[in-house]
Amino acid sequence: MHNTDKLKQILHKKNLRYTQQRQEVWDEICSTNEHRDAEDIYNSLRKRQTNVSRATVYRTIDVLVKNNLVRRLDLGDGRSRFENKMGIAHHDHIVCLDCRKIVEFMNEEIEEIQEQVAKEMGFEIVRHVHQLFGHCLDEKCPNK
């Protein structure tokens, strides 16, 4: 499904009007695979001279998260990061505690072990959050 149709569909379901501003927010999130907070997304929209208010950005992100189009990441620093989820393969994240770099990974073995553990515990997994935190070995990282 095209991203405009998908947005129209979820807004309709929530009795919210489809607007150019909401489309701009969704397009902005789809334009990159970075993990950004709402303020970063708002600033990019401002830079592109789009006329979207901060309130619209926050509210639209909230609707997108609740409808599974956007993933919200909680990295334990009080700043939620967001990424497009539509059509993106499942992945987990490694976070550098110094430069806050976020790297995506996907490991079949870990995925399978998680399923197996859940099964042994009498659960059927609906979703999981798997995050690793550490110090990156990048020479440009401020911790070096």
Work out whether 141 is an interface residue with Zn ion (CB under 5 A). yes
Pairing of strands 92-96, 131-134: parallel
| Nearest one of 106, 81, 98, 105 to 138, comparing CA atoms | 98
Q: How far is the CB of 138 from Zn ion (least distance, A)?
A: 5
Note the helical H segments in 14-107: 20-30, 38-47, 54-66
Q: How far is the CB of 84 from Zn ion (least distance, A)?
A: 9
What is the DSSP track for 121-135?
TT---S----EEEE-
**Residue 31 carries which DSSP code?**
T
Q: How far is the CB of 83 from Zn ion (least distance, A)?
A: 5
CB under 5 A: which stretch of 38-46, 60-68, 107-115, 132-140 binds Zn ion?
Answer: 132-140
Work out whether 136 is an interface residue with Zn ion (CB under 5 A). yes
d(CA 96, CA 141): 9
Work out whether 98 is an interface residue with Zn ion (CB under 5 A). yes
Work out whether 29 is an interface residue with Zn ion (CB under 5 A). no
Site string for Zn ion, 44-83 (x = CB under 5 A): ---------------------------------------x
Binders of Zn ion among residues 100 to 119 (CB under 5 A) are 101, 104
Q: How far is the CB of 140 from Zn ion (least distance, A)?
A: 8
Which neighbouring-strand residues pair with 84?
70
